[in-house]
Amino acid sequence: MKIGDWIILSFILFMSLVGAALTVRDKLAAKAGERRIPERMLMLIGAFFGSYAMFATMLMIRHKTKHIKFMLGLPVLMLLDSALIAIWILYLR
């Protein structure tokens, strides 16, 4: 693998970790009655390759599972992210 491949994979892993961490943080803030993370920020992180980990984390901790915006939006972002990864692998490497 080339150095560019490692950089892109590292970015995807980093954004996944950030997405999962923010999801857990928002759940804890909701339980404690503290200031929440804006939904716009959560969706933005999801759009930048955090959608896989965020969706899995939301299902595991049962956070925002009744919000159609997240339960439909994140899978759509997962498809878009997958398409970008496929384009990268097939055409840009």
pLDDT at 21 over 80: yes
Kindly state the tokens that stand for 20.
């999962």
Say if residues 74 and 54 touch (Cβ distance below 8 Å): yes
DSSP state of 37: P
pTM of the model: 0.91
Q: pLDDT tens for residues 25-38?
A: 999 999 999 999 99
Q: pLDDT tens for residues 36-86?
A: 999 999 999 999 999 999 999 999 999 999 999 999 999 999 999 999 999
Report the distance separating Cα 10 and Cα 13, nearest Å. 5
Q: pLDDT tens for residues 6-18?
A: 999 999 999 999 9
Show Cβ contacts of residue 55 under 8 Å, excluding neighbours closer than 6 positions: 46, 70, 74, 75, 78
Report the distance separating Cα 45 and Cα 18, nearest Å. 8
